[in-house]
């Protein structure tokens, strides 16, 4: 990189509180929304975001502009359109959206207004994780400010456009971060993912065309409108342009959220003093999960990869949500996988057979390993169960456990064998986490 990367996502200092609007506007905030609504057509906004190549930051990496373009014209599907902001950030190891909403709620709001304008929506729903009460309050106050300043409401910027925002707090289910389960939950139903097709762009919330975008995706949009395609594409890689917030956690000297261009080296993120600043207590890394808990784990010898969608896919893992979990030599990979399995077992919605039964079975086998009662044949069984879950369900929650199982078992088989002979003293988990 010739010019140093200039952050544009995490630019506010400290926590946003009352007065966040003034501070946001001082930094040039809400200019992009005004410009989009008053000077651009919706098609021009979609074209701009398409050209910028902005990919979804929630995990799947689908191009945002292309997604917006899927919304059918009103003569094909009449009635309202909805923009839904997915702020149900629950992936273990990921805490970027929380930071965005906590420090700079207007950035996401502005991006949401531009996106809603682009797809012809007049209503924005923000589905925020139930365990983020402070962020929900900050967001609500920001919405109140935005209504007062004319960034929301009727007659937006003296045009005929109307924009309303409703904040909906989730009730604690991880599955409701999956976009179709989120819609069902928003409608008041049980958080069950829906079968696609129909895709939400055709039939989503209340059966109407709906676009669901992650908080960070929308936070990218104002800067693209303000500074243009060339600026955005000057960062990141050809296929993954732009910047990204990486949530670093685990055995690092400086865990936290760091904004960096896509394509940055994982080793740079881990060791550079501007980011993770190296392993905590100088114990060497054993493994790193690069994109949130559901992606395949990388061994210490596999860490020389670039952090973008295509490079990580080539390395057999995924960028996911960009939550980097670093683990040093003190970590027992069996306990890591057991912990993940308990999480996905607890969070499976129970709709599809392979996920409902497979997550529980996996967790129970790993509980035996955790109690040093593993068997050699369990390794093949774990991989078989993962195969029977992978790609066989409505939503990717089954895959989210199957991928870590496959990578942990194939990359660290000897650690599992250590749990077969009773070498390690039994660890007793808090009872509330126990697998039934």
Partner 1 sequence: MPRLTINGQEVEVPQGTLLIEACARVTEKPPHFCYHPGLRPDGNCRMCMVKIEGMRGVSISCTLPAAEGMVVSTEHPEVLAARRGVMEFLLIHHPLDCPVCDKAGECILQDHSYDHGRGASRYIEPKIVRPKRDLGPRIALWPERCIRCSRCTRFLDEVTGTSELAFFERGDRTDLDIFPGRPIDNPLSLNIVDICPVGALISKDFLFRARVWNLRKKASVCAACSRGCNVVLESYEGKLTRLVPRPNPHVNHHWMCDHGRLSHAYVHDPRRPRQIVKREDARSFNVALPEALEAIRAGLEAVRAAHGAAAVGGLVTAWLTNEELHLAGRLLRDVLGARRLVALAAPPGEAYVAKSGFRIAADRNPNRAGLEAVLGLVPDDEAVRALAADIETGAIRALLVLGGMPAPAYPEELVAVASRLELLVVQDLVPSALLDRAHIVLPAAAAPEKHGSFINDDGRVQRLEPLLVPPVPGGDLGILGALLRALGDRPPGGGGAVGVFADLAARNERFQGLTFQELGDLGRPRRGAEDRPRPPHAAGE
What number of chain residues touch partner 1 (CB under 8 A)? Answer: 33
Tokens of 81: 């359109």
Which of 144, 162, 283, 364 binds partner 1 (CB under 8 A)? It is 364
Least CB distance to partner 1 at residue 67 (A)? 20
Is 353 a binding residue for partner 1 by CB under 8 A? The answer is: yes
Q: Is 383 exposed, middle or buried (0-12, 13-18, 19+ CB in 10 A)?
A: middle
Q: What is the number of helices (H) and of strands (E) in the chain? A: 16, 11
153 forms beta bridges with 163
**CB under 8 A: which stretch of 115-123, 296-304, 316-324, 391-399 binds partner 1?**
391-399
The backbone torsions φ and ψ at residue 362, rounded to the nearest 5 degrees and listed phi first, read -55, -45
Residue among 425, 417, 334, 341 at smallest CA distance from 374: 417
Query: Do 260 and 244 touch, CB atoms closer than 8 A?
Result: yes
Query: Do 321 and 292 touch, CB atoms closer than 8 A?
Result: yes
Least CB distance to partner 1 at residue 78 (A)? 18
Least CB distance to partner 1 at residue 388 (A)? 3
**CB under 8 A: which stretch of 42-50, 124-132, 260-268, 358-366 binds partner 1?**
358-366
Tokens 């200092």 appear where? Answer: 13
Given the complex with partner 1, which of 35 and 373 has the nearer CB atom?
A: 373
Is 361 a binding residue for partner 1 by CB under 8 A? The answer is: yes
Annotate each residue in 312-351 with x if it binds partner 1 (CB under 8 A) or - if it does not, as one string.
Answer: ---------------------------------xxxxxxx
Is 40 a binding residue for partner 1 by CB under 8 A? The answer is: no
Is 131 a binding residue for partner 1 by CB under 8 A? The answer is: no
Least CB distance to partner 1 at residue 281 (A)? 37
Which of 265, 388, 418, 420 binds partner 1 (CB under 8 A)? It is 388
Non-local CB neighbours of 101 within 8 Å, separated by 6+ positions: 87, 108, 128, 132, 135, 138, 139, 215
Strands (E) located in 65-121: 82-87
Least CB distance to partner 1 at residue 170 (A)? 14
Non-local CB neighbours of 420 within 8 Å, separated by 6+ positions: 369, 372, 373, 374, 375, 376
**Helix, strand, coil abundance in the chain, percent, nearest 5:** 45, 15, 40
Annotate each residue in 139-168 with x if it binds partner 1 (CB under 8 A) or - if it does not, as one string.
Answer: ------------------------------
Is 391 a binding residue for partner 1 by CB under 8 A? The answer is: yes
Sheet holding 285-289, edge to edge: 256-261, 243-250, 323-328, 285-289, 298-299
Residue among 104, 121, 141, 154 at smallest CA distance from 259: 104
Is 31 a binding residue for partner 1 by CB under 8 A? The answer is: no
Given the complex with partner 1, which of 167 and 175 has the nearer CB atom?
A: 175
The single-letter DSSP state of residue 91 is -
Is 359 a binding residue for partner 1 by CB under 8 A? The answer is: yes
Which of 356, 370, 408, 419 binds partner 1 (CB under 8 A)? It is 356
Least CB distance to partner 1 at residue 395 (A)? 11
Instruction: State how beta strands 256-261 and 298-299 pair.
Output: unpaired
Non-local CB neighbours of 330 within 8 Å, separated by 6+ positions: 251, 283
Q: ∠412-418-421 over CA atoms, to 5°?
A: 150
Given the complex with partner 1, which of 140 and 388 has the nearer CB atom?
A: 388
Is 190 a binding residue for partner 1 by CB under 8 A? The answer is: yes
Least CB distance to partner 1 at residue 351 (A)? 5
Least CB distance to partner 1 at residue 357 (A)? 4
**CB under 8 A: which stretch of 28-36, 105-113, 159-167, 383-391 binds partner 1?**
383-391
Is 360 a binding residue for partner 1 by CB under 8 A? The answer is: yes
Given the complex with partner 1, which of 274 and 364 has the nearer CB atom?
A: 364
Given the complex with partner 1, which of 143 and 366 has the nearer CB atom?
A: 366
Least CB distance to partner 1 at residue 197 (A)? 9
Residues that bind partner 1 (CB under 8 A): 173, 175, 190, 195, 345-354, 356-361, 364-365, 367-368, 381, 387-389, 391-394, 436
């Amino acid at each position: 990189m010739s010019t140093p990367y200039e952050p544009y996502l995490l630019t506010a200092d400290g926590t946003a509180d009352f007065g966040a609007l003034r501070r946001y506007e001082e930094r040039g905030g809400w200019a992009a929304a005004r410009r989009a609504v008053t000077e651009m057509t919706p098609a021009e906004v979609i074209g701009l975001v398409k050209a910028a190549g902005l990919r979804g930051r929630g995990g799947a990496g689908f191009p945002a502009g292309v997604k917006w373009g899927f919304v059918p014209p009103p003569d094909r599907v009449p009635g309202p359109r909805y923009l839904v902001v997915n702020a149900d950030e629950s992936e273990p190891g990921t805490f970027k959206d929380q930071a965005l909403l906590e420090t700079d709620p207007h950035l996401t709001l502005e991006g949401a207004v531009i996106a809603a304008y682009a797809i012809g929506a007049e209503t924005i729903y923000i589905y925020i994780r139930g365990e983020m009460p402070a962020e929900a309050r900050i967001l609500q106050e920001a919405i109140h400010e935005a209504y007062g300043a004319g960034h929301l409401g009727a007659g937006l910027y003296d045009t005929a456009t109307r924009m309303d925002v409703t904040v909906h707090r989730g009730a604690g289910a991880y599955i409701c971060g999956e976009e179709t389960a989120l819609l069902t939950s928003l409608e008041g139903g049980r958080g069950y993912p829906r079968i696609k097709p129909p895709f939400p762009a055709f039939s989503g919330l209340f059966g109407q065309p709906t676009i669901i975008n992650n908080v960070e995706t929308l936070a990218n949009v104002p800067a693209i409108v303000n500074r243009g395609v060339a600026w955005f594409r000057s960062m990141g890689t050809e296929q993954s342009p732009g910047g990204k917030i990486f949530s670093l956690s685990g055995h690092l000297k400086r865990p936290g959220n760091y904004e960096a261009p896509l394509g940055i080296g994982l080793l740079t993120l881990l060791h550079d003093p501007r980011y993770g600043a190296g392993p905590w207590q100088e114990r060497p890394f054993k493994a790193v999960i690069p994109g949130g808990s559901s992606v395949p784990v990388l061994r210490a010898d596999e860490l020389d990869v670039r952090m973008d969608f295509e490079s990580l896919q080539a390395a057999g893992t995924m960028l996911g949500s960009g939550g980097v979990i670093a683990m040093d030599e003190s970590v027992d990979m069996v306990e890591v996988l057991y912990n993940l399995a308990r999480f996905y077992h607890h969070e499976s919605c129970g709709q599809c057979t392979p996920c409902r039964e497979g997550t529980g079975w996996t967790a129970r086998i790993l509980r035996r390993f955790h109690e040093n009662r593993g068997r050699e044949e369990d390794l093949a069984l774990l991989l078989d169960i993962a195969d029977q879950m992978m790609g066989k369900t409505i939503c990717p929650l089954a895959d989210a456990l199957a991928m870590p199982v496959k990578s942990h078992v194939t990359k660290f088989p000897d650690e599992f064998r250590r749990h077969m002979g009773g070498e390690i003293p039994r660890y007793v988990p808090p009872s509330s986490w126990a697998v039934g």
